[in-house]
Amino acid sequence: MIPSPRIRRRPLAEGGQWPDSVPPLLRRIYEARGARSLDQAQPRLAHLLPPDLLGGLPEATALLADAIAQDRHIVIVGDFDCDGATACAVGVRGLCLLGARRVTPAVPNRMVHGYGLSPSLVDELAALQPDLLVTVDHGIACHAGIAAAKARGWQVLVTDHHLPGERLPPADVIVNPNLRSDPFPSKMLAGVGVMFYVLLALRRVLRERSVSGQAEPDLATLLDLVAVGTVADLVPLDANNRALVGAGLRRLRAGQGCAGLQALMRVAGRDPARLTTSDIGFAIAPRLNAAGRLEDMALGIACLLTDDATQADEMARVLEGINAERRGVQQQMVEEAHAALARIDDGQGAPVPLAPCLFDPEWHPGVVGLVASKIKERLHRPVIAFAPAEPGSTTLRGSARSIPGFHVRDALAAVDIAHPGLIHRFGGHAMAAGLSLDESDLPRFRDALHRHASALLDDDLLREEVLSDGELGGDELDRRHADLLRSAGPWGQGFPEPMFDGVFDVLDWRVVGEKHLKFSLRATGHATPLNAIHFNGWHDTPPPTRIHAAYQLDTDDWRDRRGIQLLLRHWRAPD
């Protein structure tokens, strides 16, 4: 049986220095996240870490500056997720702004080439006759593909943020803040952030080489893309990333986003002026990601590169259709995963596996990461979902999602060390990773991962914890505070959106949309009933008359009511 989540209040912190314009509620929230001043809570671009600190940039900028001066053909090779697509668009747009005349985007097709710069993708890129390949959001694990490119006489610049293995690929230059010797203080840059830093450093080198009086390009115009890729990749929003994301959000809210992002906001029904990081994560990113999951991310990258609003709208509508198809495929796969978990239970209380490894020969490899995420949320355990690399293949591609306290990329590394050759390839982060192996080796991999998980996971780690910022007073449950919280971010991984908890009387409830619970609640000391909703909260069990709920305070503009609603994340009967 999976234990119910526990609600724990964040410890109160004091000692910050705040202007009078920062309301007490925000001070409390910011201080609970380690910020002691407005500059720390809402860092601006002036607070960015300088590019000088990022290793490899002198060599990388020299390579790029020479390529621009010699009019060489630069091919930017992206990845088939949102971070990879935005990084590719930033690379192409940025290099063109800096004077490059021959820059071409490229991206692997998941079903044809597999992940990253593979030898098969290199063979296909030969038709473009590149002089310099620049990988974005991948490359640190692409040994064979980089060797194939070098064998053709091409130069290769790797820009990546994924954790490196014991051996580095044979690239000409590598820029990655997570290299073991790299001095860059923030290891949290997304792939798109790394590429943006390369461009910042390149602009300075070109400035030093140029004749005085030339106008400098404004690289801040790329920050809308940097914000979307950073949020979508779920990297922790440390102060440096918050500065990047905050600046990008301001551009998007001001209507200054690129044509493709504006089109994606329109098809997603999002108001740019009120855009939040949640809107990026749950509305914009999935529509971009859908192309790489089911079709070809080349369409997503083209949408981000066009400056024609009509073309952008057409491509956004296609992406919307692909995303709808993705949702259908995902729902079926998640239902099949639930059925597979039910079959594990032998009817006599068999324990849920510590790190379930799920596989179905009919599953789509582009959607297994979403399946792993959904099952992880349900079980609060690390989960890996596998699918054939392509229809009929005996090679499996797996996507892992993890929980706090279990570093899934390190877990794969441990299995690889203990069982050399079992895993073909792997890479990723603490909370998400990918791998490939032979279908016949899946039982052996399951056993090896289970043994590793057994040594690390205890009851405390296996019980989900909901962190709360405490209770909202009756005078804080209003529209003013809801608007304040909406605009006070950016919120995200490592700087989480405010969550509150309290005990409520349940005045009424009903099921909407077959699986969501709609409530009318009354808070202690608050006479006005409160609307609340718990998405996917209906599990065939009526709620009690009083509940202890963890919730987020949100605006409710349905039919222009300009009200508030509580987004319930967890509830139970009060202790």
Residue at 508 is within a domain: yes
Decide: 135 and 158 in contact? Cβ < 8 Å: yes
Decide: 133 and 157 in contact? Cβ < 8 Å: yes
Q: Is residue 351 very low, low, confident or very high in pLDDT (cuts 50, 70, 90)?
A: confident
* Calpha distance 338→434 (Å, rounded): 21
Task: For residue 521, give its domain range.
Answer: 6-32+469-572
Task: Identify the sign of the CA torsion 540, 543, 549, 554.
Answer: positive
Is the pLDDT confidence value at 297 over 80?
yes
What is the token pair recorded at 29?
């929230």
Residue at 294 is within a domain: yes
Please report the DSSP string for 127-181 in residue order.
GG--SEEEEES--TT-HHHHHHHHHTT-EEEEE--SPP-SS----SEEE-TTSTT
- Note whether 487 and 409 are same-domain residues: no
User: Which of 5 and 226 is assigned the larger pLDDT?
Assistant: 226
Domain end marker among 456, 481, 512: 456
Instruction: Mark out the alpha helices in 382-528 (DSSP H runs).
Output: 408-418, 442-456, 479-487
Looking at residue 3, its pLDDT comes to 67
Residue 18 exposed, middle or buried by CB count within 10 Å (0-12, 13-18, 19+)? middle
Strands across the sheet containing 155-159: 103-106, 74-77, 132-136, 155-159, 173-175
Residue at 12 is within a domain: yes
Looking at residue 348, its pLDDT comes to 47
Residue at 504 is within a domain: yes
* Calpha distance 277→404 (Å, rounded): 21
- Note whether 450 and 481 are same-domain residues: no
Is the pLDDT confidence value at 560 over 90?
no
Is the pLDDT confidence value at 209 over 90?
no
Question: What average pLDDT does this structure show over 538-545?
Answer: 89
Its pTM stands at 0.92
Domain end marker among 399, 422, 456: 456
Looking at residue 215, its pLDDT comes to 74
Q: Is residue 106 very low, low, confident or very high in pLDDT (cuts 50, 70, 90)?
A: very high
Looking at residue 350, its pLDDT comes to 59
Looking at residue 527, its pLDDT comes to 80
CATH number of the domain within which 414 lies:
3.10.310.30
Question: What average pLDDT does this structure show over 505-530?
Answer: 91
- Note whether 517 and 436 are same-domain residues: no
Q: Is residue 487 very low, low, confident or very high in pLDDT (cuts 50, 70, 90)?
A: confident
Rg of the chain over Cα atoms, rounded to whole angstroms, equals 24
Residue at 337 is within a domain: no
Q: Is residue 449 very low, low, confident or very high in pLDDT (cuts 50, 70, 90)?
A: very high
Looking at residue 213, its pLDDT comes to 55
Decide: 93 and 85 in contact? Cβ < 8 Å: no
Residue at 301 is within a domain: yes
Neighbours of 522 (CB within 10 A): 15
- Note whether 448 and 490 are same-domain residues: no
* Calpha distance 399→367 (Å, rounded): 9
Decide: 285 and 497 in contact? Cβ < 8 Å: no
Strands (E), 439-494: 465-468
- Note whether 134 and 278 are same-domain residues: yes
Looking at residue 136, its pLDDT comes to 98
- Note whether 259 and 392 are same-domain residues: no
Calculate what percentage of the chain has a pLDDT beyond 90.
81
Strands (E), 250-382: 357-359
Question: What average pLDDT does this structure show over 370-387?
Answer: 95
- Note whether 63 and 28 are same-domain residues: no
Is the pLDDT confidence value at 302 over 90?
yes
- Which of helix, strand or coil describes residue 77? strand
- Note whether 386 and 293 are same-domain residues: no
Quick one: which of 428, 377, 426 has its CA closest to 397? 426
Indicate the helix (H) or strand (E) that contains 519. Answer: strand 516-523
Quick one: which of 135, 227, 199 has its CA closest to 427? 135
Residue 106 exposed, middle or buried by CB count within 10 Å (0-12, 13-18, 19+)? buried
Looking at residue 347, its pLDDT comes to 47
Quick one: which of 20, 86, 67 has its CA closest to 226? 86
What is the token pair recorded at 427?
């890479």
- Note whether 378 and 399 are same-domain residues: yes
Is the pLDDT confidence value at 280 over 80?
yes
Looking at residue 157, its pLDDT comes to 98
Please report the DSSP string for 90-134 in residue order.
HHHHHHHHTT-S-EEEE---HHHH-SSS-HHHHHHHGGG--SEEE
Q: Is residue 528 very low, low, confident or very high in pLDDT (cuts 50, 70, 90)?
A: confident
User: How many alpha carbons lie under 13 Å from residue 391 in its C-beta half-sphere?
Assistant: 0
Looking at residue 110, its pLDDT comes to 81
Question: What average pLDDT does this structure show over 412-433?
Answer: 92
Question: What average pLDDT does this structure show over 174-198?
Answer: 96
- DSSP-assigned letter for residue 221: G
Question: What average pLDDT does this structure show over 235-264?
Answer: 97
* Calpha distance 472→9 (Å, rounded): 12
Residue at 343 is within a domain: no
- Which of helix, strand or coil describes residue 349? coil
Adjacent-strand bridge partners of 549:
502, 571
Domain end marker among 456, 480, 497: 456
- Note whether 407 and 532 are same-domain residues: no
Looking at residue 223, its pLDDT comes to 98
Residue at 346 is within a domain: no
Residue 540 exposed, middle or buried by CB count within 10 Å (0-12, 13-18, 19+)? exposed
Q: Is residue 346 very low, low, confident or very high in pLDDT (cuts 50, 70, 90)?
A: very low
Quick one: which of 481, 479, 480 has its CA closest to 25? 481
CATH number of the domain within which 534 lies:
2.40.50.140
- Note whether 474 and 364 are same-domain residues: no
Please state whether 540 falls in left (phi above 0), alpha (psi between -120 and 50) or beta: left
Task: Identify the sign of the CA torsion 414, 116, 279, 192.
Answer: positive
- Quote the number of domains for the chain: 3
Mean pLDDT of the chain: 93
CATH number of the domain within which 71 lies:
3.90.1640.30
* Calpha distance 491→246 (Å, rounded): 9
Instruction: Mark out the alpha helices in 345-433 (DSSP H runs).
Output: 368-379, 408-418
Is the pLDDT confidence value at 436 over 70?
yes
Q: What one-letter code names the amino acid at 129?
A: Q
Is the pLDDT confidence value at 469 over 90?
yes
- Note whether 251 and 158 are same-domain residues: yes
